[in-house]
Amino acid sequence: MRPLAIRRREARLLPPLAVLVRSMAYVDVKMRWKKDASFDAVPVLSQARDLRPLVSLAGLLSPSPTPVSAVSKLRIPLEVPDRRVISFLRRFPAAFVESVGPEHNHPWFRLSGSAAGLLQEEREVFAARRADITSRLGRLLLMAPRRRLPLRAAQGMLWHLGLPEDYFRCRDYDIAQDGFRILTIGDSVCREEEDDGRELVLIDNGEHQEMPKSVLQMDAIRRFGSMETVPIPLFQSKGLRLKQKIEAWLEGFQKLPYVSPYEDFSGIDRGSDVSEKRVVGVLHELLSLFVTCSAERRRLLCLRQHLGLPQKFHRVFERHPHVFYLLLKEKTCFVVLKEAYLARGDTAIEEHPMLVVRRKYAGLMEESREIIRCRRSGKPFPSKHKDHEQIEDSEGANSAPILS
């Protein structure tokens, strides 16, 4: 009988201890999305999809009647959700007053007194708090590793940062006094309406100024008196229970070193939990700069390369539902920073100066829905504004507009 051959186990090099620790500590966190009705009750969040095109159209129209043809071809640039701009205007009679044109019965629109007043208030708030609002754009540039952003990407962030849509195009704003300038990269010649090859940079490139502290760092100083431990405020969703291993992972995640969005992160392993905490910190800081501390998820995806985020960083929203909430509205996904709405004042996040105006715009949209309900039921709409009385009169008499 042939003896069995004994195979000697080949000696092999053991991986570094850091690799073992990382692989053993990894927890595949998968949490189900849990709907939270409290965020649906916030008007600036639930109506965010219509709020931006409404304010943009209000800036294009005037208190004097204007033919709808002046804005009918701007549906795509203004991101109007309706198929036609005129349908969108008719959904908000409290902001846009419709009348019949002098020829061919074409529809004309003008701003209501309430909308014109909010537009003027928005300009006054920006003039009074310009340094605070523009500093948020500066912090966004400091978050980028190259301290610059493509002009097209920066243009897409103006609405969320509370800046005017024509901030880069209108020379009256003079962005140089705010510390910004626009550079043209390459030898290609760009037309004025195109942003290809142009970048927004700081005049001093951020070299002669001290890096700011993030909101999480300021919150740690406020709570603990130092930045030795920088935890991320967590807000558990109602009815969401975590498994024991996920709770243990989350507790260890809070104790990991914190890397500020304004610091160099080139020495961090992209696959480590420290890198994931940095990604959470970058998104937390970014959303805290916005007016409503929320933004469309696709807007954030456009900043991935410019902020040094990993390719699939959107999974952070699913792995950390205690920090971010995904608000789904009419095939659009919005990312909301929970701390801004659930902390009840116990936070280092400063309220944006433009938030008061946005809330009034949202109230105007709610008033428009009430006007339409009263029209369908045949009841008069109780309002203190003269514009609404003129709306009811024009509906019954089909009168011509009063041109000014």
Answer for the pair 181, 203: CB distance below 8 angstroms, yes or no. Answer: yes
In a domain, 270, yes or no: no
How high is the pLDDT of residue 367?
Answer: 94
Sheet with 294-296: strands ordered across? 294-296, 332-337, 324-329
Q: For the chain, what is the mean pLDDT?
A: 83
The pLDDT > 90 percentage for the chain reads 53
For 12, residues 6+ apart whose C-beta sits below 8 A from its C-beta are none
Tally of structural domains, the chain: 1
In a domain, 110, yes or no: yes
How high is the pLDDT of residue 125?
Answer: 97
Locate tokens 């709770």: which residue? 247
In a domain, 213, yes or no: no
The pLDDT > 70 percentage for the chain reads 82
Query: Quick check: helix, strand or coil at residue 300?
Result: helix
Q: Give the model confidence (pLDDT) of 150-166 as tens digits.
A: 999 999 999 999 999 99
Choose among 215, 295, 225: nearest CA to 258: 215
Model confidence at 297, in pLDDT bands (50, 70, 90)? very high
Q: Are strands 294-296 and 332-337 parallel, antiparallel or unpaired?
A: antiparallel
Report the C-alpha gap between 197 and 187 in whole angstroms: 9
For the chain, the residue count is: 404
Choose among 125, 132, 93: nearest CA to 109: 93
Other CB atoms closer than 10 Å to residue 114's CB: what's the count? 20
Locate tokens 């009811």: which residue? 392
How high is the pLDDT of residue 385?
Answer: 55
In a domain, 12, yes or no: no
What is the pTM for the complete model shown?
0.84
Alpha helices, H only, 91-237: 113-128, 130-143, 151-161, 215-224
Answer for the pair 327, 294: CB distance below 8 angstroms, yes or no. Answer: yes
Query: Quick check: helix, strand or coil at residue 19?
Result: helix
Q: Give the model confidence (pLDDT) of 239-270 as tens digits.
A: 666 677 777 888 888 899 999 999 988 888 88
Answer for the pair 364, 94: CB distance below 8 angstroms, yes or no. Answer: yes
Query: Quick check: helix, strand or coil at residue 138?
Result: helix
How high is the pLDDT of residue 29?
Answer: 65
For residue 36 the two structure tokens come to 């939270």
For residue 191 the two structure tokens come to 């037309």
Cα–Cα distances in angstroms (integers) from residue 215 to residues 227, 289, 290, in the given order = 12, 9, 13
Torsion of CA 364, 84, 58, 39, to 10 degrees: 40
How high is the pLDDT of residue 187?
Answer: 40
Model confidence at 208, in pLDDT bands (50, 70, 90)? low
How high is the pLDDT of residue 186?
Answer: 58
> Residue 292: pLDDT above 90?
yes
Answer for the pair 289, 351: CB distance below 8 angstroms, yes or no. Answer: no
CATH code for the domain in which residue 100 is found? 1.10.10
Report the C-alpha gap between 306 and 376 in whole angstroms: 49
Model confidence at 192, in pLDDT bands (50, 70, 90)? very low
Q: Are strands 107-111 and 66-67 parallel, antiparallel or unpaired?
A: antiparallel
CA 72 to chain CA mean position, Å: 26
CA 103 to chain CA mean position, Å: 42
> Residue 201: pLDDT above 60?
yes
Nearest-5° angle of CA 223, CA 225, CA 229? 75
How high is the pLDDT of residue 404?
Answer: 31
Report the C-alpha gap between 44 and 42 in whole angstroms: 6
In a domain, 285, yes or no: no
In a domain, 251, yes or no: no
In a domain, 91, yes or no: yes
Report the C-alpha gap between 289 and 261 in whole angstroms: 13
Report the C-alpha gap between 307 and 196 in whole angstroms: 19
Report the C-alpha gap between 62 and 303 in whole angstroms: 34
Locate tokens 């709306």: which residue? 391
How high is the pLDDT of residue 383?
Answer: 63
Choose among 175, 181, 230: nearest CA to 201: 181
In a domain, 198, yes or no: no
Model confidence at 387, in pLDDT bands (50, 70, 90)? low
Q: Give the model confidence (pLDDT) of 168-188 as tens digits.
A: 998 899 999 999 999 886 544
Mean pLDDT of 1-9: 46
Of 63-67, 289-293, 347-351, 391-395, the poorest mean pLDDT is in 391-395
Query: Which has the higher per-residue pLDDT, 391 or 115?
Result: 115
Cα–Cα distances in angstroms (integers) from residue 236 to residues 278, 290, 323, 329, in the given order = 21, 23, 8, 22
> Residue 79: pLDDT above 80?
yes
- Provide the domain limits for residue 104: 43-115+360-373
For residue 388 the two structure tokens come to 């609404």
Q: Give the model confidence (pLDDT) of 31-74 as tens digits.
A: 667 788 889 889 999 999 999 999 999 999 988 888 998 999 99
Model confidence at 271, in pLDDT bands (50, 70, 90)? confident
Q: Give the model confidence (pLDDT) of 276-286 as tens digits.
A: 999 999 999 99
Nearest-5° angle of CA 105, CA 83, CA 394? 30
The amino acid at residue 107 is P
Strand partners, 202: 180
How high is the pLDDT of residue 228?
Answer: 87
How high is the pLDDT of residue 154?
Answer: 94
